[in-house]
Structure 1
Amino acid sequence: MPTARQLYQQELIRCREHFERVDLQKERGYLMKFTTFSANVENILPSIPRREHEMMFKKLLLQQIYTTFDQRCLTAGDLVELRGVQDILKLANEPKIYCTYHLGSYRLLTSVLFRKGVDCVLMVGSNMNRSQGGDMTEHIDALREKHGLTNVFRIIEAGSPSAGLSVLRELKAGRSLIVYVDGSPETAPEPGEEDKFLSVRFGHRQVLTRKGVGFLSHAAGVPIVPIVSYRDSDLTNVLHCLKPIRPIRNSDRDMYCQEAMQQLYDAFWPFLNRYPEQWEGWNYIHSFLEPEKARHGFFKVGSDRPIFNEDRYSICDLEQAPILFDRRLYQTYEITDDLRDLLTSLNEIDSVEEVIGHEMYSELMEMEVIC
């Protein structure tokens, strides 16, 4: 008779087989989603060659299917392998702020903690709460009934004006907080919110991250526990528990927030390098990137014939019109079919300036579309 793990793996194999029958190129919005994903990888982790990006993107889409399945599978949490500082997940007297990331089957952390009897408060964005909050609550209710659990589970929307005070009350009441520190599309910076964010190093760029986790930890005197979820090659889900970050009483709060958030991103970096195809954040991290200063210097040497700057730009043939996508600034420009054809065949044209005119030629050179 197959074991629970074998049955689980068989179901994931069925998920994969179904996924492989889908023609992704025909899926609505696939091309722009992939192009944005590719630009994000290139900006944060440029050591991964662009030729590998599409396979990474497809693996991420499959990983998202696995994650959705895990949310519906009551036994998935029982099959998780714990690594690192495992004792940190044991029921203890003090509450904690469990910080995790959108890597692997990231929703399983909540299931594992609740199964261990921890009173949990999950912080999510309002859109995520509307689309997934019901499923999470249903999953928790099923666990409560199956195992006879009586501990608390609540969801607090991160965008609520009273979210900070609500979480502080929960922490002081002894309940632990679960938060995704790598953000989500709806928690990205908006004009006028500058005081809610700080800048941290992340790969080859600086990203903006909300300082709320550090503030809550310092204000409540509660440790931050980084936990990274990922899926091994044999499909086993792993929760890797890292060393807690503890606030120092009477220390400078702003300094602690900066150091704590940088430590959280530094802790995540080795896992992202190892499992880059499992991070959902590639789809939205551009919303958190600090703008780069304008830089020029991509110039062709030793030839009079201009070339298309494919290092910076991509051309996407959408149904409505061709799109020129700036991979550095994440801007899109609708272009004509004629300009698309010209940019893709520059090597066949003797004088590009004569064909398109001096004004457009100068504009394309200034934008570094051609160089």
Structure 2
Amino acid sequence: MKNNEINELYNSIQNINIFESDKWLHDFNFISASIGTLLPKLSFNEHLKIAKKSAFYQILSSRDERNYDLIRQIKKIDFNLKKRILVTFHYSSYRLLNSLLISWSVPFKLVADDNYIKKQGDSTIESYNKIAKELGVKAYDFEIINAEERTVIFKCLKAINEGYSLVFYADGNSGIGGMTKNQKNIIKIPFLESSLYVRKGIAVIASLLKVPICVILLKRNILTDSVEIFCEEDIDFPENRKDENDLKACTINIFENLEKRLSEDPGQWEGWFYYHNFIEFSQNKPKGNYGSTSIFNNRFYGVGKLSGIFYILDKNTLKLIPISEEVYLELLNIIKHNKIEKDFPLLKSLKKEKIIINI
């Protein structure tokens, strides 16, 4: 992907007006809610920047997966990547990792949930073989192991014994159900300035297989057209898979790597688009700190449309308040122009709830 193409993509994302698109506005409401909980000191304008940057890197990652010039120039890291549990996140140009492992002749199998396999399984396998062919390297017996099948442990053990590594995306929680799905497999960990519900399966599998964990993150620099690789070598596997404290400590250790990257550059994480399903939102509304010069309190509220239903979103509780189309259009007009008519029927009640604020 050439620099001018990257610049065109970046500018096209920056020029998006989220208030002109029902889908963008709806997605942004939940992105903003997540940012407000995990990084509460950031202003609404920072939320906008992070959302657009995240969308940019989401697209760039897909294009970088087959950016062969970039792939060839990245040197293999000085670490044994075979017969390991390799963990990464949907951060920056994350799709490059598979391509790099192929380029470096590292045999691996991907471990993913049923939702991923149904939606992207065939295309992922096809992509693996095409990339290996284009790079002129050996294509190993690549497969995607279903993390939700009972045979997952046996398949993972077989892969390790045959010299393969196992690749996991620790934040691969985009499936339906959120924190209510398979609760026995989910634990709560501290994260940034709040907490997340995450899967403990990686720690469990590592404990069962007695295999060390290596966390790898990629950070794309579009100015220099380069990639920086962050690698934490050999996180110890939990000695006792039934010890919840050991599993939690291992999982926290894994996620600390993402936490550090987000503290430095939150805009490169794709997870903002779906991680509201795994955040426990507070029932207590923060006082002050609106962080906005808008009459509409867009720091703590959003308006949107979903499947023909118009709503106000309380970003602190993630609760939707149904409203009429007339009220929705009036609020959208207030947001767009930062101006309100004094005869707006709901002015008094919205001010009382601090959805409309004085500036």
Match of 2:72 in 1: 78
Measured against aligned partners, the alpha-carbon deviations of 1:100-140 in whole angstroms (never above 9, x if no partner) come to 11111101111212222222111233343344333432332
CA contact (8 A) 1:225 1:244 kept: yes
Match of 2:122 in 1: 134
- Structure 2 CA distance for partners of 1:137 and 1:308, relative to 1, 3 Å: closer
Equivalents in 1 of 2:185, 2:92: separation in Å? 28
Aligned pairs, number:
344
Match of 1:279 in 2: 269
Task: Determine whether 1:246 maps to 2:256.
Answer: no
Task: Determine whether 1:87 maps to 2:78.
Answer: yes
Match of 2:278 in 1: 288
Match of 1:44 in 2: 38
SS in 1 for 2:92: coil
Q: Letter of the aligned partner of 2:173 in structure 1?
A: S
* Matches for 1:57-206 after TM superposition, within 5 Å: 57-80=51-74, 86-88=77-79, 90-92=80-82, 95-145=83-133, 146-186=135-175, 189=178, 191=180, 193-206=182-195
Q: CA deviation at 1:65?
A: 1.8
Q: Letter of the aligned partner of 1:111 in structure 2?
A: S
Of the three residues 175, 180, 204, the one matched with 1:215 is 204
Higher RCO (CA 8 Å, separation ≥ 6 residues): 2
SS in 2 for 1:151: coil
Match of 2:291 in 1: none
Measured against aligned partners, the alpha-carbon deviations of 1:329-348 in whole angstroms (never above 9, x if no partner) come to 21212213565659968994
Q: CA deviation at 1:228?
A: 1.2
CA contact (8 A) 1:123 1:177 kept: yes
Please say which of residues 106-115 and 9-18 is displaced more in the overlay.
Answer: 9-18
Q: CA deviation at 1:63?
A: 1.4
Q: CA deviation at 1:216?
A: 0.7
Equivalents in 1 of 2:331, 2:175: separation in Å? 38
CA contact (8 A) 2:241 2:247 kept: no
Match of 2:247 in 1: 257
Please say which of residues 267-276 and 120-129 is displaced more in the overlay.
Answer: 120-129
Equivalents in 1 of 2:142, 2:70: separation in Å? 19
SS in 1 for 2:312: strand
Q: CA deviation at 1:291?
A: 4.8
- Structure 2 CA distance for partners of 1:15 and 1:131, relative to 1, 3 Å: farther
Q: CA deviation at 1:33?
A: 0.5
TM-score when normalising by structure 2:
0.80
CA contact (8 A) 2:203 2:250 kept: yes
CA contact (8 A) 2:66 2:131 kept: no
Q: CA deviation at 1:13?
A: 3.5
Q: CA deviation at 1:209?
A: 0.8
Equivalents in 2 of 1:223, 1:203: separation in Å? 25
Q: Letter of the aligned partner of 2:107 in structure 1?
A: D
Measured against aligned partners, the alpha-carbon deviations of 1:342-362 in whole angstroms (never above 9, x if no partner) come to 99689947997xx98xxxx6x
CA contact (8 A) 1:126 1:157 kept: yes
Q: Letter of the aligned partner of 1:219 in structure 2?
A: L
Q: Where does structure 2 lack aligned partners over 5 or more consecutive residues?
A: 289-294
Measured against aligned partners, the alpha-carbon deviations of 1:11-36 in whole angstroms (never above 9, x if no partner) come to 43454466567666554511111111
Q: Where does structure 1 lack aligned partners over 5 or more consecutive residues?
A: 1-6, 300-306
CA contact (8 A) 1:159 1:187 kept: no
Equivalents in 1 of 2:207, 2:256: separation in Å? 20
Q: Letter of the aligned partner of 1:209 in structure 2?
A: V
CA contact (8 A) 1:42 1:48 kept: yes
TM-score when normalising by structure 1:
0.78
Equivalents in 1 of 2:157, 2:43: separation in Å? 44
Match of 1:12 in 2: 6
SS in 1 for 2:99: helix
Q: Letter of the aligned partner of 2:207 in structure 1?
A: H
- Structure 2 CA distance for partners of 1:188 and 1:200, relative to 1, 3 Å: farther
CA contact (8 A) 1:189 1:197 kept: no
Measured against aligned partners, the alpha-carbon deviations of 1:126-158 in whole angstroms (never above 9, x if no partner) come to 343344333432332134334241533211233
Q: CA deviation at 1:267?
A: 2.0
Match of 1:268 in 2: 258
SS in 2 for 1:238: strand
Task: Determine whether 1:314 maps to 2:302.
Answer: yes
- Structure 2 CA distance for partners of 1:318 and 1:174, relative to 1, 3 Å: closer
Percentage of identical aligned residues: 22
Measured against aligned partners, the alpha-carbon deviations of 1:239-261 in whole angstroms (never above 9, x if no partner) come to 21123201264686433211111
Match of 1:325 in 2: 313
Q: CA deviation at 1:279?
A: 0.4
